[in-house]
Amino acid sequence: MVFLALYDKDELGLFATTRVALAFSAPAIKQIDIVSLPLQKIPPRKRQQVIREHIDKTDFVAIGVGVYTFMYSWARFAAIYGFTKNRPMLAANAAGVYCGWERELLLGPNPFSRVQWKIQGDSIQLSSLDSIFEILWKSEKIIPKQSVQYRLEGDVGLLDEIAPMYLWDPENVNRNLFKWIEKSIWLAGL
């Protein structure tokens, strides 16, 4: 299995990034190929293309979550594109990581909670929540319903129902990673 890890180093900060990187090198993960994609090194105008290419080559999508990750267009794009490709997905939260100042990083929301799916006849409409106003849903993509294998319940929901968020530290990863992967694969209908 090839696991794609997307994160924005500037957003997470050095200590959180280090902790996420350590968790990705934890003994439990040694059996999985990890493709790390730190997005701050990619010019904003090329991010969607690079994310698309990486998701096409990998089996699983994980988004490293910092305080403001949910606001970034790359996070919404990765969630939507991963959904259209039926990839198992999860959010890896680095909250509680000491940030070098007097307090710890705050828990950021699951970026998958900012993408809505809605079944409309033979199609599924994917919409993203406006990151500034947070009351407006913008239609992003419409795909055929039969192309989706996810275990969706009802006619409308958020992607965080099929892409849960977990606390991403080495100890937690070693203990629970394979349960998280199994659950995400099951939710993806695979």
CATH of the domain at 67: 3.40.50.450
pLDDT at 28: 61
Q: What mean pLDDT do residues 101-117 have? A: 77
Judge whether 69 lies within some domain: yes
pLDDT at 144: 96
CA 63 to the chain's CA centroid: 3
Judge whether 66 lies within some domain: yes
Distance between CA atoms of 78 and 47, rounded to whole angstroms? 10
pLDDT at 37: 85
Is residue 83 within 8 Å of residue 159, measured between CB atoms? yes
The model's confidence at residue 103, banded by pLDDT at 50, 70 and 90, is very low
pLDDT at 102: 45
Judge whether 99 lies within some domain: yes
pLDDT at 66: 79
Query: pLDDT digits over 15-27, tens only?
Result: 556 656 666 666 6
Q: Residue 25: give the domain boundaries.
A: 2-110+158-187
171 or 183: which leads in pLDDT: 183
pLDDT at 187: 95
Judge whether 150 lies within some domain: no
- Three-class secondary structure of residue 187 per DSSP: helix
> 160 pLDDT exceeds 80?
yes
pLDDT at 25: 64
Q: 144: how many CB neighbours lie within 10 A of its CB?
A: 9
Number of domains comprising the chain = 1
Place of tokens 């977990």: 166
Judge whether 134 lies within some domain: no
Judge whether 140 lies within some domain: no
Judge whether 48 lies within some domain: yes
Query: pLDDT digits over 22-81, tens only?
Result: 666 666 666 777 788 888 889 999 999 999 999 999 999 999 887 788 888 999 999 999
Residue 121: left (phi > 0), alpha (psi -120 to 50), or beta?
Answer: left
Judge whether 127 lies within some domain: no
